[in-house]
Amino acid sequence: MNTRVQIKDLTSIALLISVGYIVNSISPSLIFGLKPDFTLIFLFIIILVFNDLKLCLAASIATGIITALTTTFPGGQMPNLIDKICTGIIVYFFCVVLDKVHMPHIVKLICVAFTGSLLSGVLFLSFTSMLVGLPVSWLTLITTMLVPLTLLNTVVFVPLFHLIMRVRQITLR
């Protein structure tokens, strides 16, 4: 890969992470105070679009740092950082496996969004529980917060992915 392509890809990734953070910051709560995790959604978009382990790792670290710096969850800084890095790497390899399976593209998108969001939430709650403790039981947070957020992320991810791909096609002309 030449240097020009690397800089172009890194710039695109930085812009996507920035847009994810901005949208996450300004988006209103939708269901019972919950809102989609746009930083996570944009991380999945980056993984699917660029399909490169090094870029995935860089995007995961950057997303982890941003979410750690901006979290409102008490003691959630280190769990956010660890969660995003682990989730990014696992989702990347999950996408590699899904590429070998013949399925419609929309099914792949739904699988990535649902599995990645669920994984991220479980990792975040697990690391938070180990490092700082949880305000309520782990199972309560899984059923009342994580499952609805996972579904919400999945519903938002698919049209947002298509929108980003459309914008990308327009800008590449």
Q: What is the pLDDT of residues 9-21, one digit of tens each?
A: 899 999 999 999 9
- What the chain holds in terms of domains, given with CATH numbers, is 3-172 (1.10.1760)
Q: Indicate if the pLDDT at residue 5 is higher than 80.
A: no
pLDDT band of 72, cuts 50, 70, 90: confident
Q: What is the pLDDT of residues 107-155, one digit of tens each?
A: 999 999 999 999 999 999 999 999 998 888 888 988 988 999 999 999 9
pTM, rounded to two decimals: 0.92
What is the Cα–Cα distance from 57 to 8, expressed in whole angstroms?
Answer: 17
What does the mean pLDDT of the chain come to? 90
Report in angstroms the alpha-carbon separations of 27 from 80, 88, 119, 128. Answer: 19, 23, 23, 24
Tell me phi and psi for residue 96, to 5 degrees. Answer: -60, -45
